Amino acid sequence: MATIEECRAALDKLSDSMRGAEGNVRAAAARDRAVSCHITDLDVTFAGRLDGGRIEVHDTFPGPPRERAQIRLAMTGDDLVALVDGEMHFAKAWGSGRVRLEAGLRDLFHLRKLL
């Protein structure tokens, strides 16, 4: 089972990858949106913003998200690490229910370029 530190490192790695992206992916990542990522098996939430092509985590706290972010993810720590390391495909994980993504229609349209 992935630790909180491994999950945070995975989010940092994802953020670095997004910042280095080009074209449509970079444009989609540049949106300014509130983001939360609930790690279900650890029952911890990382909350922050997608801003300037990076995910800036501002808070880590126990339990589910305290506020409704504009982009909300939920998954196990192992799944987060596997997604970021390229061992799991996002669409398959989302379709099978291993990853939950909730966002408004406009955000989903832009996020499809990232995912």
63-99 confidence digits (pLDDT tens): 999 999 999 999 999 999 999 999 999 889 999 999 9
Q: Say how far apart CA 11 and CA 104 lie, in whole Å.
A: 22
The fraction of the chain above a pLDDT of 90, given in percent, is: 63
Q: Answer yes or no: are the C-beta atoms of 59 and 47 closer than 8 Å.
A: yes
User: How many residues does the structure list for the chain?
Assistant: 115
- Give the pTM: 0.88
